[in-house]
């Protein structure tokens, strides 16, 4: 009898462990099988964060100007790009392309790299104010010629950080 | 299956999942071309103050706008009329802005009239087409060549419409389907005031309402709703009491402490009888009566033929109930007697309203806190005149009207069929509408020049009551126009201009927003300049100029003497033998008079009393229904001398046995996908004029008979017919 | 578990003596929370999605008949019957005393709605529709639920969260009256009062101690946090 119970318990344990393993391995597989093309898609204009944020040390908030006051960080409006590039590096092919968009009054159709599901509420301003700076999620963009997703952006990844910092992990904090 | 196989399988599945997720098209990040001019921040909502125009009450609203889209309407806490509160209809106005069936550009009729075949035209073409037709008006010299139908207007828009109609030799006909004409007439006779009285319900101890549904549709429901809450529970030692008298228990009546189911058309007799009791018991305020110019012995003489016994007999109530209501009314001061739509829409309406006002005078409740109040200056509001409207119909059928213009009204829907409005309109050679929706009238138009909706336009609203003199609410656009529409006042201005004309005192300022700004400057008493620019911005931010006057009128200034007579007998259309039931038509708490029926939120909001949605119904007393073999949800045919309609039945426990009630609001033939062809319009059962002498609308003066047709009435209710879905909730 | 940790315990008082049944709260809720309109057919099937409804009760017979209104919304029970039956933990108790419903977890078993004595949970039997441009009216702060998902009153959690964030930034607790769900905000006679029950000085707490208090189906022992105040009577407050 006793033997049987041990078997049952160990079977249950094994089931639980393999379940966990399954979830973890699923995530791992998911992450590593996402090709670089997906994590770092080619953009309509080869904008380099390495140059802007790295070489010229332009503050993130100079372009993503709503990050500390709104839930969205804000994609810089075209006028902002053009306000510099009307004068700077006008001959370069990328800039020519930009000016082309601007003159056609068309927005640049940037490809979204960091995409949260619609049922998740993520306020940028709250995170910045809590000391979670841009690089915590977006990586060190000063080294990226083309922006690349370095975080998993899965719920467990969010929760890990929330737990570490002892902030609310209540579901309704982000899902409503 | 061994472990290796299992892992291989899961691996494949995981990879498959990953792969399939990769094939999803990547989302795009579309930047703005230029940053928003108003400094608004994406992701952070902006709030703009404006005024609700769903009914004439003129409540202040605040509209939440995110990323250039309006997504919530709330009450404006600074506005003295509604103090931050808002009713269901006011909130649903948002859906008019984004309604899928809005008219999106100017349209010219291509098919036969009423076919709904239109083709888009440019604004230049549309305006010049109308200008051409109007030009003829001016040279023809014939008076009344053009008729302009609008709701009751105020301020600059009224000025503009008047100037416009004069310029083109036309006539302005304001029209409200729930006309307050009889109230104004009675008010002039009793108080010498043309404006509507305001009732300080919040400070009253006792209220008796004679068919006034002040919590749902009467005059200013949000203002009175707020006051009602305070009347009940805001004072530490007093809970105000409320009695309702009327043949049907309305939503407002449901909140009353007692309901007096008075016979149809006898409300005035009841009020007179109560006055008689107060006189007999000497509970009146003698000094006040002297001030008001009333004489006790004269009043007693007027009541001589109406002892309490006769009053009880005529009204169908018990002597005890009438006596105790009278005593409560006289003793629990300050008290208020309010006469409402049910009373006004009888052939003896004006008399009855006067009898109700007599109660207020007897107890000296005029000009007091918790009584009847008027603002210091008589607001000469333009009011509609039913009689004038009927004359206009004659003119139209006579063929003297060449052009008919419509803005904000739908008389084809909102007038009884027997008025012949639609037929007369057919004789008018040219019809143009400024409507945002294809309502039943606009459907007949030859040209549609769609106006902005309220949330896209400029304007000003003087509240129908409670905005003591000095309250002017400002309407400002909270979003850019969604479609290719043009503001109605600007359309008028440009029509005058294309014609080379000038509107006196208005053209000087250019476009309509400039006209409005100048008007507000004058109203606020500021000089033009930088100072005023600040005031203007602040006014728009607050939602208007609010100078609440705390000094109400204390004395009555009427030209003649108020001679009280017991209301004469109400006359009804239809013989009592042939048509045994009274038809009681009331404005719906949710749809009002039908102007909000196109909004899906409201269509799906259960009627508070019946929980019915998406349709019309007929309310019948359970005993009557039983004797006729009718059950809940049956389809019946309701027939009056004027016509017949088919409608499902709601068994309604709180209605007199000889009365059947129907709400206004549905039965539009057009008006967008949510309202078109839904329910029936009880106005189809009415005769245009029952009271030949006064020529006032009478929603409550028709007799009907009914016949059961079938079991399938198509009634949809949210709750269970016998109560609600979970009866045990009541065990309280 | 972390219940004791929170400074907030959200509660509501509904004064039936003030409620007039006007249904302003019903539309306010629908507008704020992106509650879809289901149309005539689905309404006839009883599949309307209102999170808040006005119950109307008839009492007595003509002429001594009374009608009473009770606004019924999620009672946010402390011992909620909806929570333990969810197989995927989509309905759960939040640290601030709400009955949370996590849409992205919900698999649509509808056990919770089945177990709710107040019938305040509604299920999306169909994909919601907003014919263009009616979709522009949607509140961007609230998820649009899809077919197969259970939904319910959240006490306007988006407003609660915003209020809490603001208070946190300013280093204080949420003030009384600072957060108002859409229904309470619009209620013309002021019948709906919302606030923090953990704050003994709050208006909602003081009202909740009234002698007129009762709770719907109190004997079920689910400990609702929505407290009703009886109407009627000739006495003072």
CB contact at 8 A, B25 and A41: no
Alpha helices in chain A (DSSP H): 2-33, 36-39, 49, 60-63, 78-85, 93-103, 124-129, 134-138, 155-164, 171-174
Give the model confidence (pLDDT) of B145-198 as tens digits: 899 999 988 888 988 898 888 888 899 999 888 888 899 999 999 998 888 899
Cβ neighbours of residue B726 closer than 8 Å, sequence gap 6 or more: C55, C117, C118, C119
CB atoms within 10 A of CB C61: 11
Helix (H) or strand (E) segment spanning residue B280? helix B267-280
Give the model confidence (pLDDT) of C196-214 as tens digits: 999 999 999 999 999 999 9
Residues of B (605-634) whose Cβ lies below 8 Å from C = 605-606, 608-609, 611, 613-615, 621-623
CB atoms within 10 A of CB A106: 12
Lowest mean per-residue pLDDT among B227-236, B377-386, B635-644: B377-386
Query: For chain A, which chains pass the contact test of at least 3 CB pairs under 8 Å?
Result: B, C
Q: What pLDDT was estimated at residue B722?
A: 59
CB contact at 8 A, B568 and B302: no
Q: Which residues pair with A74 in a beta bridge?
A: none
Q: Which of B28, B35, B43 sits opposite A109 (nearest CB)?
A: B28
* Closest to C145 in 3D by CA, of C121, C119, C127, C159: C127
Give the model confidence (pLDDT) of A118-155 as tens digits: 899 999 999 999 999 999 999 999 999 999 999 888 99
Confidence class for position B723, pLDDT limits 50, 70, 90: low
Q: What percent of chain B stands above pLDDT 90? A: 69
Confidence class for position A39, pLDDT limits 50, 70, 90: confident
Whether A171 sits inside 8 A of C92 (CB atoms) is yes
Q: What pLDDT was estimated at residue B149?
A: 96
* Closest to B702 in 3D by CA, of B661, B651, B653, B657: B661
CB contact at 8 A, B461 and B520: no
Instruction: Look at residue B7 and tell me whether its pLDDT is greater than 50.
Output: no
Instruction: Look at residue B21 and tell me whether its pLDDT is greater than 50.
Output: no
The mean pLDDT of chain B is 89
Q: What pLDDT was estimated at residue B30?
A: 87
CA B435 to chain centre: 17
Whether C157 sits inside 8 A of A119 (CB atoms) is no
Confidence class for position B378, pLDDT limits 50, 70, 90: low
Instruction: Look at residue B69 and tell me whether its pLDDT is greater than 80.
Output: yes
Q: Which long-range contacts (CB under 8 A, 24 or more apart) does B8-11 make?
A: B10/A22, B10/A25, B10/A26, B11/A25, B11/A29
Whole-angstrom Cα distance, residue B227 to residue B337?
Answer: 15
Confidence class for position B236, pLDDT limits 50, 70, 90: confident
Q: What pLDDT was estimated at residue B525?
A: 83
DSSP structure class, residue B508 = G
Q: What pLDDT was estimated at residue B374?
A: 84
CA atoms within 13 A on the CB side of B269: 23
Q: Is C235 on the interface with B (CB under 8 A)?
A: yes
Strand, helix or coil for residue B688: coil
- Mean pLDDT value of segment B443-464: 94
Query: For chain B, which chains pass the contact test of at least 3 CB pairs under 8 Å?
Result: A, C
Lowest mean per-residue pLDDT among B427-441, B605-619, B708-722: B708-722
Using the structure block, give the residue that is written with the tokens 């119950």: C55
Whether A175 sits inside 8 A of C104 (CB atoms) is yes
- Kindly tell me the sign of the dihedral angle through the C-alpha atoms of B458, B460, B464, B468: positive
Lowest mean per-residue pLDDT among B204-218, B280-294, B462-476, C83-97: B462-476
Contacting B with CB below 8 Å, chain A residues are 22, 25-26, 29-30, 33-35, 38, 41, 66, 69-72, 74-80, 102, 105, 107-112, 115
Instruction: Look at residue B572 and tell me whether its pLDDT is greater than 60.
Output: yes
Q: What is the CA radius of gyration of chain A?
A: 22
* Closest to B448 in 3D by CA, of B132, B128, B107: B107
Instruction: Look at residue B329 and tell me whether its pLDDT is greater than 90.
Output: yes
Give the model confidence (pLDDT) of A9-20 as tens digits: 666 565 565 555
CB contact at 8 A, B603 and B674: yes
Instruction: Look at residue B684 and tell me whether its pLDDT is greater than 70.
Output: yes
Q: What percent of chain C stands above pLDDT 90? A: 84
CB contact at 8 A, C66 and B618: no
Q: Which long-range contacts (CB under 8 A, 24 or more apart) does C177-184 make?
A: C177/C203, C180/C156, C181/C12, C181/C29, C181/C32, C181/C155, C181/C156, C182/B72, C182/C25, C182/C28, C182/C29, C182/C31, C182/C32, C182/C33, C182/C156, C183/C25, C183/C28, C183/C29, C183/C52, C183/C71, C183/C73, C184/C12, C184/C25
Strand, helix or coil for residue B351: helix
Q: Which residue has the higher pLDDT, B405 or A5?
A: B405
Residues on chain B touching A76 (C-beta within 8 angstroms)? 31
Q: Is B238 on the interface with C (CB under 8 A)?
A: yes
Whether B18 sits inside 8 A of A33 (CB atoms) is yes
User: Quick one: tokens of C193?
Assistant: 């009062």
CB atoms within 10 A of CB B237: 7
Q: What pLDDT was estimated at residue C231?
A: 81
Q: What pLDDT was estimated at residue B528?
A: 85
DSSP string, B373-435: E--SS--------HHHHHHHHHHHHHT---EEEESS--HHHHS-GGG-HHHHHHT-SEEEE--
- ipTM, interface predicted TM-score of the complex: 0.95
Determine phi and psi for C167, rounding to 5 degrees.
-65, -40
Whole-angstrom Cα distance, residue A111 to residue B25?
Answer: 10
Whether A107 sits inside 8 A of B33 (CB atoms) is yes
CA-based angle B615:B618:B623, to the nearest 5? Answer: 145
Whole-angstrom Cα distance, residue A113 to residue B539?
Answer: 45
Whether A170 sits inside 8 A of C105 (CB atoms) is no
Instruction: Look at residue B552 and tell me whether its pLDDT is greater than 80.
Output: no
CA B198 to chain centre: 17
Q: What pLDDT was estimated at residue A24?
A: 54
Q: Strand order in B118-120's β-sheet? A: B118-120, B107-109, B447-448, B430-433, B403-406, B146-150, B170-174
Give the model confidence (pLDDT) of B245-286 as tens digits: 999 999 999 999 999 999 999 999 999 999 999 999 999 999
Q: What pLDDT was estimated at residue B380?
A: 62
Provide the angle, in degrees to the nearest 10, between the axes of the packed helices B319-331 and B267-280. 60
Using the structure block, give the residue that is written with the tokens 């769900």: C181
- Mean pLDDT value of segment B562-566: 90
pTM score, two decimals?
0.92
Instruction: Look at residue A1 and tell me whether its pLDDT is greater than 70.
Output: no
Q: Which residue has the higher pLDDT, B518 or B449?
A: B449
DSSP structure class, residue A137 = H
């Amino acid at each position: 009898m006793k033997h049987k119970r041990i078997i049952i318990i160990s079977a249950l344990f094994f089931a639980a462990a393999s379940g966990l393993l399954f979830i973890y391995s699923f995530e791992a597989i998911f992450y590593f099988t996402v090709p670089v093309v997906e994590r770092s898609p080619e953009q309509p204009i080869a904008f380099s964060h390495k140059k802007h944020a790295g070489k010229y040390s332009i503050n993130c908030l100079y372009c993503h100007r709503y990050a500390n006051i709104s839930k969205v960080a804000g994609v810089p409006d075209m006028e902002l790009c053009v306000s510099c590039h009307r004068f700077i590096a006008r001959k370069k092919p990328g800039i020519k392309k930009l000016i082309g968009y601007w003159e056609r009054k068309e927005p640049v159709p940037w490809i979204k790299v960091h995409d949260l599901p619609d049922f998740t509420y993520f306020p940028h301003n709250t995170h910045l104010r809590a000391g979670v700076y841009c690089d915590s999620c977006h990586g060190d963009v000063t080294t990226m010629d083309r922006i690349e997703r370095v975080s998993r952006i899965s719920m467990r990844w969010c929760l890990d950080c929330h737990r570490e910092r002892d902030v609310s992990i209540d579901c309704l904090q982000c899902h409503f | 299956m061994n472990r290796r196989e299992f892992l291989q399988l899961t691996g494949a599945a995981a990879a498959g999942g990953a792969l399939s997720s990769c094939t999803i098209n990547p989302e795009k990040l579309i930047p703005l071309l230029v940053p928003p001019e108003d400094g608004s921040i994406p992701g952070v909502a902006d709030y703009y103050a404006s005024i609700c125009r769903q009914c004439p009450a003129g409540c202040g609203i605040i509209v939440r706008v995110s990323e250039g889209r309006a997504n919530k309407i709330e009450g404006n806490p600074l506005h003295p009329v509604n103090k931050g509160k808002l009713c269901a209809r006011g909130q649903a106005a948002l859906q008019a802005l984004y309604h899928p069936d809005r008219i999106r550009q100017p349209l010219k009729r291509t098919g036969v009239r009423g076919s709904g075949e239109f083709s888009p035209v440019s604004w230049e073409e549309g305006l010049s087409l109308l200008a051409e037709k109007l030009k003829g008006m001016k040279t023809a010299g014939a008076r009344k060549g053009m008729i302009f139908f609008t709701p009751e207007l105020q301020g600059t828009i009224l000025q503009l419409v008047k100037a416009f109609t004069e310029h083109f030799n036309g006539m302005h006909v304001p029209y409200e389907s729930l006309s307050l004409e009889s109230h104004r007439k009675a008010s002039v006779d009793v108080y010498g005031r043309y404006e509507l009285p305001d009732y300080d319900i919040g400070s009253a101890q006792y209220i008796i309402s004679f068919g006034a549904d002040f919590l749902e549709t009467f005059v200013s429901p949000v203002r009175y709703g707020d006051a009602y809450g305070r009347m009940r529970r805001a004072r530490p030692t007093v809970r105000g009491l409320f009695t309702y008298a009327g043949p049907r228990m309305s939503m407002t009546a449901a909140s009353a402490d007692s309901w007096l189911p008075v016979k149809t058309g006898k409300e005035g007799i009841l009020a007179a009888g109560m006055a008689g009791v107060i006189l007999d018991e000497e509970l009146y305020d003698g000094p006040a009566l002297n001030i008001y110019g009333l004489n006790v012995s004269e009043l007693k003489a007027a009541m001589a033929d109406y002892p309490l016994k006769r009053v009880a007999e005529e009204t169908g109530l018990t002597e005890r109930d009438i006596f105790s209501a009278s005593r409560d009314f006289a003793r629990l001061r300050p008290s208020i007697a309010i006469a409402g739509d049910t009373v006004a829409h009888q052939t003896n309406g004006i008399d009855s309203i006067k009898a109700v006002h007599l109660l207020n005078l007897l107890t000296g409740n005029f000009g007091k806190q918790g009584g009847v109040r008027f603002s210091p200056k008589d607001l000469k509001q333009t009011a509609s005149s039913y009689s004038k409207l009927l004359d206009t119909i004659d003119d139209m059928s006579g063929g003297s009207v060449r052009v008919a213009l419509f803005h904000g009204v739908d008389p084809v829907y909102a007038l009884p069929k027997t008025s012949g409005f639609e037929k007369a309109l057919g004789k008018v050679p040219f019809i143009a509408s400024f409507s945002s929706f294809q309502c039943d009238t606009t459907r007949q138009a030859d040209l549609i020049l769609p106006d902005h909706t309220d949330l896209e336009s400029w304007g000003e609203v003087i509240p129908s009551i409670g905005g003591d003199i000095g309250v002017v609410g400002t309407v400002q656009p909270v979003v850019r126009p969604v479609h290719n529409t043009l503001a109605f006042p600007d359309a008028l201005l440009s029509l005058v201009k294309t014609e080379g004309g000038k509107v006196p005192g208005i053209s000087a300022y250019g476009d309509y927003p400039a006209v409005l700004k100048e008007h507000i400057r004058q109203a606020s008493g500021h000089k033009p300049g930088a100072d005023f620019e600040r005031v203007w911005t602040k006014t728009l931010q607050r939602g208007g100029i609010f100078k609440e006057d705390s000094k109400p009128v204390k004395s009555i200034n009427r030209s003649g003497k108020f001679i009280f007579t017991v209301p004469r007998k109400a006359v009804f259309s239809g013989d009592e033998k042939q048509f045994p039931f009274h038809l009681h038509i009331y404005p719906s708490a949710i749809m009002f008079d039908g102007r909000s029926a196109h909004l899906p939120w409201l269509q799906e909001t259960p009627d508070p009393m019946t929980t019915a949605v998406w349709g019309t119904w007929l309310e019948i007393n359970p005993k009557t229904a039983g004797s006729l073999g009718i059950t809940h949800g049956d389809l019946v045919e309701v027939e009056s001398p004027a016509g017949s309609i088919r409608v499902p039945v709601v068994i309604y426990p709180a209605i007199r046995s000889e009365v059947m009630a129907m709400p206004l609001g549905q039965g539009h033939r057009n008006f967008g996908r949510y309202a078109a062809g839904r329910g029936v319009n009880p106005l189809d059962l009415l005769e245009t004029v029952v009271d030949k002498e006064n020529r006032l609308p009478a929603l409550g003066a028709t007799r009907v008979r009914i016949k059961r047709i079938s079991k399938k009435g198509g009634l949809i209710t949210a709750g269970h017919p016998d109560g609600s879905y979970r009866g045990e909730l009541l065990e309280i | 578990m972390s219940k004791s940790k929170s400074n907030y315990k959200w509660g509501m008082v509904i004064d039936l003596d003030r409620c007039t049944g006007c249904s302003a709260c019903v539309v306010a809720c629908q507008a704020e929370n992106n509650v879809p309109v289901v149309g005539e057919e689905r309404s006839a099937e009883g599949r309307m999605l209102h999170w808040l409804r006005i119950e109307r009760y008839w009492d007595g017979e003509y002429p001594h008949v009374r009608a009473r209104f009770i606004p019924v919304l999620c009672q946010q029970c402390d011992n909620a019957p909806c929570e333990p039956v969810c197989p995927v933990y989509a309905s759960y108790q939040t640290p601030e005393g709400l009955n949370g419903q996590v849409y992205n977890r919900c698999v649509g078993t509808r056990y919770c709605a089945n177990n709710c004595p107040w019938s305040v949970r509604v299920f999306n039997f169909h994909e919601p529709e907003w014919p263009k441009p009616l979709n522009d009216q949607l509140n961007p702060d609230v998820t649009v639920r899809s077919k197969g998902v259970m939904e319910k009153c959240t006490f306007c959690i988006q407003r609660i969260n915003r209020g809490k964030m603001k208070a946190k930034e300013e280093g204080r607790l949420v003030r009384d009256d600072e957060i108002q769900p859409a229904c309470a905000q619009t209620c013309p006679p002021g019948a709906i009062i919302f606030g923090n029950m953990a704050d003994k000085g709050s208006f909602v707490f003081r009202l909740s101690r009234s002698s007129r208090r009762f709770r719907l189906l109190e004997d079920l022992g689910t400990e609702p946090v929505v407290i009703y105040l009886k109407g009627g009577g000739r006495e003072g407050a």
